[in-house]
Amino acid sequence: MSNRLDPGAMRCGDREFRWGERTYVMGIINVTPDSFSGDGLGHDIEAAVAQGKRFAAEGADILDVGGESTRPNAAPVSAEEELHRVVPVVERLAGEVTVPVSVDTYRYEVAQRALSAGAKMINDIWGLEHEPRLADLAAEHKVPMVLMSNQRGRPCPDIVPDVIASLKKSIALALDRGVPWQNIIVDPGVGFGKTLEQNLEIVRRLDEFRCLNRPILIGTSRKSMIGLVLDLPPEERLEGTAATVAISIARGADIVRIHDVAQMVRVCRMSDAVVRSKLS
């Protein structure tokens, strides 16, 4: 669409991501026993690898492996436990699928080991706030990183400007530590310290984040905002997720992070046909 900014292209592993041409799908692989969405695989490496292979076959463009639940009030895990959960799955997937693997972590040692095991992206839910050295790793390994805005523990009376300001700080820090401009992706952080009204407002005003001139990742899949609106448990939030994905694409999302890959790939294709005039 003519009103979209052109943030360029990005290489992730052996793949090139050309922003604006279509919506990319990030499939969620939770190697946790306590995921909010009910899909946590715990220590079952074989199940995680099988899920990753299925997601790749269903059309996922990236596989995002995480070893610590990010739901509110989740019990924290040690770095050792997170390593034990994440690294074997990353290593197996990196060797058995052609889709690039991302590691969802804010810990330096976990990201470092995951990159050594074959991960090609870092997804940081704290936008370098907890661990700025993640940017050093991304620069050293020449991999992209997702910088998310996390409002947990802080008031945000004016949510969209506050999130944009937070992301600008994260981008500046990443650039200062050597991450190339084209390797930065932003995520407004739906569900992280935000009220229902604020989450809905972020989706509704997602196009305002184009001012950052970076590709936008959004993760609404099965989240509590959908449960609160529809009064449904996580496993029954497929249609609500589809609605938020389609609206997010119309508002400028470049990547959607989702649990239900096959269904959301179809939603993306249909949305792209309308929004981007993309028919294949």
Residues 115-140: what's their mean pLDDT?
A: 98
Looking at per-residue confidence, does 72 or 140 come out higher?
Answer: 140
Name, in order, each residue with C-beta under 8 angstroms of 111's C-beta and a sequence gap of 6 or more.
103, 105, 119, 122, 134, 137
- Residue 106 in any domain: the answer is yes
Q: Could you tell me if residue 13 is inside a domain?
A: no
- Residue 190 corresponds to which tokens in the numbers above? 């739906």
Q: Is residue 1 part of a domain?
A: no
Grade residue 3 by pLDDT with cuts at 50, 70 and 90. very low
Active site residue 53: no
pLDDT in tens, 24-48: 999 999 998 755 544 556 678 999 9
Tell me if 111 is assigned to some domain: yes
* Residue 184 within any structural domain of the chain: yes
Instruction: Tell whether the model's pLDDT for residue 193 goes beyond 80.
Output: yes
Span of 42-56, 134-148, 161-175 with lowest mean pLDDT: 42-56
Task: Taking residues 5-10, report their average pLDDT.
Answer: 72
CATH number at residue 245: 3.20.20.20
Domain enclosing residue 223, as ranges: 21-275
168 is catalytic: no
Average per-residue pLDDT for the chain: 92
Of 22, 107, 222, 223, catalytic? 223
What does the alpha-carbon distance between residue 133 and residue 190 come to, in Å, rounded to a whole number?
Answer: 24
Percent of the chain with pLDDT over 70: 92
> Residue range 117-129: average pLDDT?
97
Task: Tell me if 214 is assigned to some domain.
Answer: yes
Q: pTM for this structure?
A: 0.93
**Number of domains composing the chain:** 1
**Whole-number pLDDT of residue 65:** 97
Question: Which pLDDT band, with edges at 50, 70 and 90, does 220 fall under?
Answer: very high
